[in-house]
Chains A and B, each alone.
Chain A
Amino acid sequence: MQVPAPFEYERATSVEHAIGLLERLGSSARLVAGGHSLLPMMKLRLANFEYLVDINDLRDELGYIRIEPHEIRIGALTRHRELLESDALAAAFPIFRDAEKVIADPVVRNWGTLGGSLCQADPSEDLSAVCTTLDGSCVIRGSGGERVVPMTEFHRGPYETAVGDDEILTEIRFPVRPGGGSAFEKVERRAGDWAVVSAGAAVWLDGDTGGTVADARVGLAAVGPNTTALPAVTAALAGREPSEELYDEAGRIAARDCSPDTDMRGSEEYKRHLAGELTTRALRRSVERARQGRG
Protein backbone atom coordinates (compact mmCIF):
# COMPACT_ATOMS: atom_id res chain seq x y z
CA MET A 1 0.00 0.00 0.00
CA GLN A 2 1.42 3.35 -0.99
CA VAL A 3 0.30 6.20 1.24
CA PRO A 4 1.74 9.66 1.78
CA ALA A 5 3.81 10.40 4.88
CA PRO A 6 1.70 11.82 7.72
CA PHE A 7 0.45 15.39 7.36
CA GLU A 8 -2.19 17.69 8.77
CA TYR A 9 -5.20 18.51 6.62
CA GLU A 10 -6.90 21.89 6.46
CA ARG A 11 -9.84 22.83 4.30
CA ALA A 12 -9.95 26.38 2.99
CA THR A 13 -13.30 28.14 2.89
CA SER A 14 -12.21 31.09 0.74
CA VAL A 15 -9.19 32.31 -1.18
CA GLU A 16 -8.44 34.72 1.67
CA HIS A 17 -8.63 31.85 4.13
CA ALA A 18 -6.27 29.76 2.00
CA ILE A 19 -3.75 32.60 1.83
CA GLY A 20 -4.01 33.09 5.60
CA LEU A 21 -3.32 29.41 6.19
CA LEU A 22 -0.34 29.47 3.82
CA GLU A 23 1.08 32.56 5.56
CA ARG A 24 0.78 30.84 8.91
CA LEU A 25 2.11 27.47 7.83
CA GLY A 26 4.86 28.62 5.45
CA SER A 27 6.78 26.31 3.17
CA SER A 28 5.65 23.26 5.15
CA ALA A 29 2.22 23.58 3.53
CA ARG A 30 0.98 22.94 0.01
CA LEU A 31 -2.35 23.56 -1.64
CA VAL A 32 -4.15 20.51 -2.98
CA ALA A 33 -6.82 20.83 -5.67
CA GLY A 34 -7.46 17.69 -7.72
CA GLY A 35 -4.38 16.08 -6.22
CA HIS A 36 -3.82 13.81 -9.18
CA SER A 37 -0.26 15.03 -9.62
CA LEU A 38 0.57 15.88 -6.01
CA LEU A 39 -0.69 12.77 -4.24
CA PRO A 40 1.23 10.26 -6.39
CA MET A 41 4.40 12.28 -5.71
CA MET A 42 3.64 12.25 -1.98
CA LYS A 43 3.05 8.50 -2.06
CA LEU A 44 6.47 8.04 -3.61
CA ARG A 45 8.00 10.49 -1.08
CA LEU A 46 9.13 12.69 -3.94
CA ALA A 47 7.24 15.41 -2.10
CA ASN A 48 6.53 15.72 1.62
CA PHE A 49 4.53 18.41 3.36
CA GLU A 50 3.43 18.87 6.96
CA TYR A 51 0.14 20.43 5.91
CA LEU A 52 -2.15 20.11 2.94
CA VAL A 53 -4.68 22.87 2.38
CA ASP A 54 -7.63 21.54 0.38
CA ILE A 55 -9.10 24.24 -1.88
CA ASN A 56 -11.83 22.15 -3.50
CA ASP A 57 -14.50 24.13 -1.64
CA LEU A 58 -13.46 27.29 -3.54
CA ARG A 59 -15.30 26.22 -6.70
CA ASP A 60 -17.56 29.29 -6.58
CA GLU A 61 -14.54 31.58 -6.44
CA LEU A 62 -12.10 29.73 -8.70
CA GLY A 63 -14.08 27.40 -10.97
CA TYR A 64 -15.16 29.31 -14.07
CA ILE A 65 -14.59 29.99 -17.76
CA ARG A 66 -15.40 33.61 -18.62
CA ILE A 67 -15.49 34.53 -22.28
CA GLU A 68 -15.11 38.26 -22.88
CA PRO A 69 -14.62 40.08 -26.18
CA HIS A 70 -10.90 40.68 -25.79
CA GLU A 71 -9.97 38.23 -23.08
CA ILE A 72 -10.80 34.78 -21.78
CA ARG A 73 -10.33 34.18 -18.08
CA ILE A 74 -10.29 30.72 -16.56
CA GLY A 75 -10.33 30.06 -12.83
CA ALA A 76 -7.51 27.90 -11.51
CA LEU A 77 -9.91 25.33 -10.03
CA THR A 78 -11.60 24.63 -13.37
CA ARG A 79 -11.43 20.89 -14.00
CA HIS A 80 -10.10 19.28 -17.17
CA ARG A 81 -13.55 17.95 -17.97
CA GLU A 82 -14.98 21.46 -17.93
CA LEU A 83 -12.25 22.72 -20.24
CA LEU A 84 -12.97 19.83 -22.62
CA GLU A 85 -16.73 20.34 -22.61
CA SER A 86 -16.86 24.13 -22.98
CA ASP A 87 -18.11 24.87 -26.50
CA ALA A 88 -17.41 28.57 -26.05
CA LEU A 89 -13.79 27.86 -25.15
CA ALA A 90 -13.42 25.43 -28.07
CA ALA A 91 -14.85 28.06 -30.43
CA ALA A 92 -12.33 30.66 -29.28
CA PHE A 93 -9.34 28.35 -28.75
CA PRO A 94 -9.81 24.89 -30.31
CA ILE A 95 -6.36 24.00 -29.00
CA PHE A 96 -7.93 23.46 -25.57
CA ARG A 97 -10.29 20.74 -26.78
CA ASP A 98 -7.55 19.14 -28.90
CA ALA A 99 -5.31 18.93 -25.85
CA GLU A 100 -7.91 17.91 -23.29
CA LYS A 101 -8.95 14.94 -25.42
CA VAL A 102 -5.47 13.49 -24.92
CA ILE A 103 -4.67 14.59 -21.36
CA ALA A 104 -4.78 11.58 -19.03
CA ASP A 105 -8.15 9.82 -19.32
CA PRO A 106 -11.81 10.76 -18.79
CA VAL A 107 -11.86 9.64 -15.15
CA VAL A 108 -8.74 11.60 -14.23
CA ARG A 109 -10.11 14.60 -16.14
CA ASN A 110 -13.13 14.61 -13.84
CA TRP A 111 -10.97 15.63 -10.91
CA GLY A 112 -7.72 17.27 -12.10
CA THR A 113 -7.59 21.06 -12.46
CA LEU A 114 -6.01 23.69 -14.71
CA GLY A 115 -4.24 25.42 -11.83
CA GLY A 116 -2.93 22.16 -10.47
CA SER A 117 -1.54 21.20 -13.85
CA LEU A 118 0.31 24.50 -14.19
CA CYS A 119 1.55 24.55 -10.59
CA GLN A 120 2.84 21.00 -10.86
CA ALA A 121 5.22 22.45 -13.48
CA ASP A 122 5.97 19.11 -15.07
CA PRO A 123 7.93 19.74 -18.29
CA SER A 124 5.80 17.10 -20.05
CA GLU A 125 2.48 18.63 -19.07
CA ASP A 126 0.26 19.40 -22.04
CA LEU A 127 -1.86 22.22 -20.61
CA SER A 128 1.27 24.20 -19.77
CA ALA A 129 2.19 24.01 -23.45
CA VAL A 130 -1.33 25.17 -24.36
CA CYS A 131 -1.12 28.16 -22.02
CA THR A 132 2.35 29.01 -23.30
CA THR A 133 1.13 28.82 -26.90
CA LEU A 134 -1.80 31.13 -26.18
CA ASP A 135 0.41 33.68 -24.41
CA GLY A 136 -1.46 33.19 -21.17
CA SER A 137 -0.93 35.26 -18.05
CA CYS A 138 -1.12 33.81 -14.54
CA VAL A 139 -2.85 35.75 -11.79
CA ILE A 140 -1.16 35.08 -8.46
CA ARG A 141 -2.72 36.34 -5.25
CA GLY A 142 -1.17 36.89 -1.84
CA SER A 143 -2.15 38.92 1.19
CA GLY A 144 -0.67 42.02 -0.46
CA GLY A 145 -2.85 41.71 -3.53
CA GLU A 146 -2.58 40.29 -7.03
CA ARG A 147 0.26 40.16 -9.49
CA VAL A 148 0.18 38.93 -13.08
CA VAL A 149 3.01 36.79 -14.47
CA PRO A 150 3.27 35.75 -18.14
CA MET A 151 3.43 32.00 -18.78
CA THR A 152 6.97 32.38 -20.09
CA GLU A 153 8.03 33.49 -16.59
CA PHE A 154 5.66 31.29 -14.60
CA HIS A 155 7.75 28.13 -14.69
CA ARG A 156 11.11 28.71 -13.03
CA GLY A 157 12.27 25.16 -13.70
CA PRO A 158 10.96 21.63 -13.47
CA TYR A 159 8.42 21.51 -10.62
CA GLU A 160 9.15 25.15 -9.71
CA THR A 161 6.83 28.08 -10.33
CA ALA A 162 6.66 31.79 -9.63
CA VAL A 163 3.98 31.16 -6.99
CA GLY A 164 5.39 31.96 -3.54
CA ASP A 165 4.89 29.81 -0.44
CA ASP A 166 2.17 32.15 0.79
CA GLU A 167 0.46 32.73 -2.55
CA ILE A 168 -2.17 31.04 -4.70
CA LEU A 169 -2.65 30.88 -8.46
CA THR A 170 -6.20 32.08 -9.01
CA GLU A 171 -6.72 32.62 -12.73
CA ILE A 172 -5.21 32.32 -16.19
CA ARG A 173 -5.96 35.05 -18.75
CA PHE A 174 -5.70 34.76 -22.49
CA PRO A 175 -5.81 37.66 -24.96
CA VAL A 176 -8.37 37.23 -27.76
CA ARG A 177 -7.41 38.62 -31.14
CA PRO A 178 -9.25 38.46 -34.48
CA GLY A 179 -8.24 36.10 -37.27
CA GLY A 180 -6.89 33.41 -34.99
CA GLY A 181 -6.70 29.64 -35.19
CA SER A 182 -5.05 27.12 -32.91
CA ALA A 183 -4.36 23.38 -32.64
CA PHE A 184 -2.59 20.80 -30.52
CA GLU A 185 -0.71 17.65 -31.54
CA LYS A 186 0.68 14.95 -29.29
CA VAL A 187 2.51 11.66 -29.57
CA GLU A 188 2.15 9.37 -26.58
CA ARG A 189 3.08 5.75 -25.96
CA ARG A 190 -0.43 4.69 -24.99
CA ALA A 191 -3.79 6.34 -24.27
CA GLY A 192 -3.54 8.79 -21.40
CA ASP A 193 0.23 8.81 -21.09
CA TRP A 194 2.51 11.77 -20.71
CA ALA A 195 3.64 13.18 -24.02
CA VAL A 196 6.68 11.81 -25.79
CA VAL A 197 6.43 15.25 -27.38
CA SER A 198 3.45 17.55 -27.77
CA ALA A 199 3.14 20.77 -29.71
CA GLY A 200 0.63 23.60 -29.62
CA ALA A 201 0.32 26.24 -32.29
CA ALA A 202 -1.67 29.45 -32.62
CA VAL A 203 -1.72 31.76 -35.61
CA TRP A 204 -3.41 35.05 -36.33
CA LEU A 205 -3.94 36.03 -39.96
CA ASP A 206 -4.34 39.48 -41.46
CA GLY A 207 -7.65 40.25 -43.16
CA ASP A 208 -11.06 38.63 -42.93
CA THR A 209 -10.41 35.49 -44.95
CA GLY A 210 -6.78 35.23 -44.04
CA GLY A 211 -3.81 36.74 -45.73
CA THR A 212 -0.33 36.74 -44.30
CA VAL A 213 0.57 35.67 -40.80
CA ALA A 214 0.14 38.58 -38.41
CA ASP A 215 1.48 36.56 -35.49
CA ALA A 216 2.16 32.93 -34.65
CA ARG A 217 3.22 31.07 -31.54
CA VAL A 218 4.35 27.52 -30.93
CA GLY A 219 4.65 25.84 -27.53
CA LEU A 220 6.26 22.46 -26.97
CA ALA A 221 6.11 20.04 -24.04
CA ALA A 222 8.53 17.30 -22.98
CA VAL A 223 11.50 18.63 -24.93
CA GLY A 224 13.28 20.67 -22.27
CA PRO A 225 13.21 21.68 -18.62
CA ASN A 226 9.98 23.62 -19.13
CA THR A 227 7.27 23.90 -21.71
CA THR A 228 8.91 25.95 -24.36
CA ALA A 229 7.75 28.90 -26.39
CA LEU A 230 9.78 29.27 -29.54
CA PRO A 231 10.36 32.97 -30.39
CA ALA A 232 12.40 32.00 -33.45
CA VAL A 233 9.30 30.35 -34.94
CA THR A 234 7.28 33.48 -34.23
CA ALA A 235 9.92 35.64 -35.90
CA ALA A 236 10.18 33.35 -38.94
CA LEU A 237 6.43 33.28 -39.61
CA ALA A 238 5.51 36.94 -39.11
CA GLY A 239 4.42 38.64 -42.31
CA ARG A 240 4.71 35.50 -44.44
CA GLU A 241 2.08 33.79 -46.57
CA PRO A 242 1.01 30.47 -45.03
CA SER A 243 2.29 27.54 -47.08
CA GLU A 244 3.55 23.99 -46.69
CA GLU A 245 7.09 25.30 -47.11
CA LEU A 246 6.54 27.76 -44.28
CA TYR A 247 5.21 25.06 -41.94
CA ASP A 248 8.21 22.89 -42.78
CA GLU A 249 10.56 25.77 -42.08
CA ALA A 250 8.89 26.33 -38.70
CA GLY A 251 9.19 22.62 -37.97
CA ARG A 252 12.92 22.69 -38.69
CA ILE A 253 13.34 25.64 -36.33
CA ALA A 254 11.34 23.85 -33.62
CA ALA A 255 13.46 20.71 -33.99
CA ARG A 256 16.61 22.78 -33.78
CA ASP A 257 15.61 25.04 -30.87
CA CYS A 258 14.20 22.49 -28.43
CA SER A 259 16.39 20.58 -26.00
CA PRO A 260 15.07 17.05 -25.45
CA ASP A 261 16.87 14.33 -23.53
CA THR A 262 17.07 10.67 -24.42
CA ASP A 263 14.99 8.72 -21.93
CA MET A 264 12.61 5.78 -21.75
CA ARG A 265 10.13 7.61 -23.98
CA GLY A 266 12.55 8.01 -26.85
CA SER A 267 15.88 9.24 -28.09
CA GLU A 268 16.83 12.88 -28.43
CA GLU A 269 16.90 12.44 -32.20
CA TYR A 270 13.40 10.95 -32.27
CA LYS A 271 12.02 13.72 -30.06
CA ARG A 272 13.54 16.41 -32.28
CA HIS A 273 11.92 14.72 -35.25
CA LEU A 274 8.57 14.74 -33.42
CA ALA A 275 8.96 18.37 -32.34
CA GLY A 276 9.42 19.34 -35.98
CA GLU A 277 6.67 17.18 -37.40
CA LEU A 278 4.11 18.07 -34.70
CA THR A 279 4.88 21.78 -35.07
CA THR A 280 4.28 21.49 -38.82
CA ARG A 281 0.98 19.67 -38.33
CA ALA A 282 -0.25 22.01 -35.59
CA LEU A 283 0.54 25.09 -37.67
CA ARG A 284 -1.19 23.62 -40.72
CA ARG A 285 -4.38 22.94 -38.74
CA SER A 286 -4.21 26.32 -37.01
CA VAL A 287 -4.13 28.11 -40.34
CA GLU A 288 -7.00 25.98 -41.69
CA ARG A 289 -9.06 26.88 -38.64
CA ALA A 290 -8.15 30.56 -38.84
CA ARG A 291 -9.28 30.60 -42.47
CA GLN A 292 -12.55 28.94 -41.53
CA GLY A 293 -13.05 31.51 -38.82
CA ARG A 294 -12.87 28.80 -36.20
CA GLY A 295 -10.90 30.37 -33.39
Chain B
Amino acid sequence: MQVTMIVNGDEVTREIEARLLLVHFLRDVLGLTGTHWGCDTSNCGTCVVWIDGRPVKSCTVLAAMAGGHEVSTVESLARGGELDPVQRGFMECHGLQCGFCTPGMMMTARALLNENPDPSPDEIREAISGQICRCTGYATIVRSVRWAAAYEAGDQAAADAVAEPEPGSIAEPVAGGAQ
Protein backbone atom coordinates (compact mmCIF):
# COMPACT_ATOMS: atom_id res chain seq x y z
CA MET B 1 0.00 0.00 0.00
CA GLN B 2 1.02 3.59 -0.44
CA VAL B 3 1.45 5.97 2.48
CA THR B 4 2.00 9.72 2.44
CA MET B 5 2.87 11.80 5.49
CA ILE B 6 4.79 14.89 6.48
CA VAL B 7 8.03 13.97 8.22
CA ASN B 8 9.99 16.81 9.78
CA GLY B 9 8.28 19.23 7.44
CA ASP B 10 8.79 17.30 4.22
CA GLU B 11 6.11 15.30 2.46
CA VAL B 12 7.15 11.72 1.85
CA THR B 13 5.33 9.01 -0.10
CA ARG B 14 6.42 5.39 -0.03
CA GLU B 15 5.10 1.97 -0.96
CA ILE B 16 5.01 -0.09 2.24
CA GLU B 17 3.62 -3.25 3.74
CA ALA B 18 0.54 -2.52 5.84
CA ARG B 19 2.12 -4.16 8.86
CA LEU B 20 5.16 -1.86 8.86
CA LEU B 21 5.43 -0.02 12.16
CA LEU B 22 6.11 3.70 12.23
CA VAL B 23 9.45 3.25 14.01
CA HIS B 24 10.72 0.98 11.25
CA PHE B 25 9.34 3.26 8.55
CA LEU B 26 11.31 6.15 10.01
CA ARG B 27 14.52 4.19 10.58
CA ASP B 28 14.66 1.66 7.77
CA VAL B 29 12.70 3.33 4.97
CA LEU B 30 13.58 6.98 5.55
CA GLY B 31 16.96 6.41 7.21
CA LEU B 32 16.08 8.62 10.18
CA THR B 33 17.93 6.52 12.72
CA GLY B 34 17.81 9.14 15.47
CA THR B 35 14.58 7.50 16.62
CA HIS B 36 15.66 4.46 18.57
CA TRP B 37 13.89 1.16 18.79
CA GLY B 38 13.96 -0.56 22.13
CA CYS B 39 11.56 -2.83 23.96
CA ASP B 40 8.99 -3.26 21.17
CA THR B 41 6.15 -3.31 23.70
CA SER B 42 5.48 0.43 24.19
CA ASN B 43 7.13 0.35 27.58
CA CYS B 44 10.58 1.86 27.25
CA GLY B 45 9.74 4.97 25.24
CA THR B 46 12.97 5.30 23.31
CA CYS B 47 10.92 5.28 20.08
CA VAL B 48 8.93 8.39 21.00
CA VAL B 49 8.18 10.72 18.08
CA TRP B 50 5.40 13.22 17.62
CA ILE B 51 2.26 12.77 15.57
CA ASP B 52 0.64 16.18 15.05
CA GLY B 53 2.74 17.59 17.89
CA ARG B 54 1.88 14.91 20.47
CA PRO B 55 4.43 12.35 21.67
CA VAL B 56 3.58 8.76 20.78
CA LYS B 57 5.44 5.46 20.98
CA SER B 58 6.19 4.69 17.35
CA CYS B 59 6.76 0.95 17.91
CA THR B 60 3.04 0.62 18.55
CA VAL B 61 1.71 2.74 15.69
CA LEU B 62 1.42 1.47 12.13
CA ALA B 63 3.11 3.65 9.56
CA ALA B 64 -0.20 3.49 7.71
CA MET B 65 -1.98 5.07 10.68
CA ALA B 66 0.36 8.07 10.44
CA GLY B 67 -0.67 8.61 6.83
CA GLY B 68 -1.91 12.15 6.28
CA HIS B 69 -0.41 13.33 9.56
CA GLU B 70 2.64 15.33 10.57
CA VAL B 71 5.40 13.28 12.15
CA SER B 72 8.36 14.87 13.92
CA THR B 73 11.49 13.04 14.99
CA VAL B 74 14.54 13.99 17.03
CA GLU B 75 16.17 15.10 13.77
CA SER B 76 13.75 18.03 13.71
CA LEU B 77 14.92 19.53 17.00
CA ALA B 78 18.04 21.34 15.76
CA ARG B 79 17.24 24.10 13.28
CA GLY B 80 19.65 25.84 10.97
CA GLY B 81 22.64 24.35 12.77
CA GLU B 82 21.37 25.58 16.14
CA LEU B 83 20.67 22.98 18.78
CA ASP B 84 17.31 23.12 20.49
CA PRO B 85 17.57 24.32 24.11
CA VAL B 86 16.52 20.84 25.20
CA GLN B 87 19.49 19.37 23.35
CA ARG B 88 21.77 21.96 24.91
CA GLY B 89 20.33 21.17 28.31
CA PHE B 90 21.19 17.51 27.90
CA MET B 91 24.77 18.56 27.07
CA GLU B 92 25.10 21.08 29.89
CA CYS B 93 23.65 18.83 32.59
CA HIS B 94 24.93 15.44 31.46
CA GLY B 95 21.42 14.31 30.61
CA LEU B 96 22.71 11.38 28.65
CA GLN B 97 24.95 8.55 29.67
CA CYS B 98 24.79 5.75 27.08
CA GLY B 99 22.45 7.92 25.01
CA PHE B 100 20.01 5.20 24.01
CA CYS B 101 16.90 6.68 25.63
CA THR B 102 17.95 10.23 24.77
CA PRO B 103 16.03 10.84 21.50
CA GLY B 104 12.72 9.84 23.05
CA MET B 105 13.46 11.72 26.26
CA MET B 106 14.23 14.89 24.32
CA MET B 107 11.08 14.63 22.19
CA THR B 108 8.93 14.23 25.30
CA ALA B 109 10.79 17.07 27.03
CA ARG B 110 10.31 19.40 24.05
CA ALA B 111 6.59 18.64 23.94
CA LEU B 112 6.32 19.24 27.69
CA LEU B 113 8.05 22.63 27.47
CA ASN B 114 5.83 23.63 24.55
CA GLU B 115 2.83 23.18 26.83
CA ASN B 116 4.36 24.11 30.15
CA PRO B 117 7.40 26.42 29.89
CA ASP B 118 8.25 26.12 33.59
CA PRO B 119 7.61 22.56 34.75
CA SER B 120 8.45 21.46 38.28
CA PRO B 121 10.77 18.47 38.76
CA ASP B 122 7.70 16.39 39.60
CA GLU B 123 5.97 17.46 36.41
CA ILE B 124 9.06 16.53 34.40
CA ARG B 125 9.21 13.13 36.10
CA GLU B 126 5.52 12.59 35.35
CA ALA B 127 6.04 13.52 31.69
CA ILE B 128 8.89 11.01 31.25
CA SER B 129 7.33 8.33 33.43
CA GLY B 130 6.67 6.18 30.36
CA GLN B 131 10.32 6.17 29.38
CA ILE B 132 13.12 4.09 30.78
CA CYS B 133 16.76 5.12 31.27
CA ARG B 134 18.68 1.95 32.02
CA CYS B 135 21.69 4.02 33.11
CA THR B 136 19.34 5.31 35.83
CA GLY B 137 20.26 8.88 34.98
CA TYR B 138 16.86 10.36 35.68
CA ALA B 139 18.21 13.04 38.04
CA THR B 140 20.38 14.53 35.30
CA ILE B 141 17.61 14.21 32.73
CA VAL B 142 15.30 16.20 35.00
CA ARG B 143 18.04 18.80 35.46
CA SER B 144 18.55 18.97 31.70
CA VAL B 145 14.91 19.81 31.13
CA ARG B 146 15.00 22.40 33.92
CA TRP B 147 18.09 23.91 32.31
CA ALA B 148 16.26 24.19 29.00
CA ALA B 149 13.28 25.83 30.68
CA ALA B 150 15.47 28.40 32.44
CA TYR B 151 17.47 29.08 29.29
CA GLU B 152 14.33 29.61 27.22
CA ALA B 153 12.98 31.97 29.88
CA GLY B 154 16.15 34.03 29.45
CA ASP B 155 17.25 33.25 32.99
CA GLN B 156 20.88 32.32 32.42
CA ALA B 157 21.68 32.54 36.12
CA ALA B 158 19.02 29.95 36.90
CA ALA B 159 20.26 27.75 34.06
CA ASP B 160 23.81 27.98 35.40
CA ALA B 161 22.61 27.10 38.87
CA VAL B 162 20.90 23.99 37.52
CA ALA B 163 23.97 23.00 35.52
CA GLU B 164 26.49 23.61 38.29
CA PRO B 165 24.87 23.28 41.67
CA GLU B 166 26.67 24.74 44.67
CA PRO B 167 29.12 22.29 46.23
CA GLY B 168 27.34 20.33 48.90
CA SER B 169 23.88 21.23 47.67
CA ILE B 170 21.56 18.71 46.13
CA ALA B 171 20.26 20.14 42.88
CA GLU B 172 17.68 17.44 42.61
CA PRO B 173 16.42 16.38 46.04
CA VAL B 174 15.94 12.65 46.19
CA ALA B 175 13.97 11.14 49.04
CA GLY B 176 16.07 8.64 50.91
CA GLY B 177 19.26 9.70 49.16
CA ALA B 178 22.72 9.22 50.61
CA GLN B 179 23.40 11.33 53.68
Residues of A near any B CB (own CB < 8 A): 1-9, 11, 32, 35-36, 39-40, 43, 52, 54, 56, 81, 104-108, 110-111, 191-192
Contact = CB atoms under 8 A, between A and B. Distances in A.
B129 A52 contact: no
Contacts of B64: 9, 11, 54
A106 B40 contact: no
Interface in B9-34: 17-21, 24
B60 interface: yes
B129 A106 contact: yes
B60 A3 contact: no
A52 to B, nearest CB: 7
B158 interface: no
Interface stretch (B49-57, B88-96, B147-155): B49-57
A81 B115 CA distance: 14
Contact of A39 (B62, B129, B130): B62
B62 A107 contact: no
B23 to A, nearest CB: 9
Contacts of A104: 130
Given A107-B108, A110-B55, A110-B56, A32 B19 contact: no
Nearest to A42: B19
Contacts of B17: 6
B130 A35 contact: no
A43 B65 contact: no
Given A32-B65, A40-B41, A7 B129 contact: no
Contact of A107 (B19, B41, B67, B131): B131
Q: What 3 pairs between A and B have smallest CB-CB spacing?
A: A105-B130, A9-B18, A107-B130
Contacts of A2: 40
A11 B67 CA distance: 10
A3 B19 contact: yes
19 contacts: A2-B40, A5-B19, A7-B18, A9-B1, A9-B18, A9-B62, A11-B64, A35-B65, A36-B60, A39-B60, A40-B41, A105-B129, A106-B55, A106-B108, A107-B48, A110-B54, A111-B56, A111-B57, A192-B130
A40 B60 contact: yes
Contacts of B55: 106-107, 110
A9 B19 CA distance: 8
Interface in B52-108: 54-57, 60-62, 64-65, 67, 108
A54 B65 CA distance: 7
Contacts of B37: 1
B127 interface: yes
Contact of B57 (A9, A54, A81, A107): A107
A108 B128 CA distance: 11
A107 B58 CA distance: 10
Contacts of B19: 3-7
A52 B24 CA distance: 19
A1 B131 CA distance: 19
A6 B20 CA distance: 9
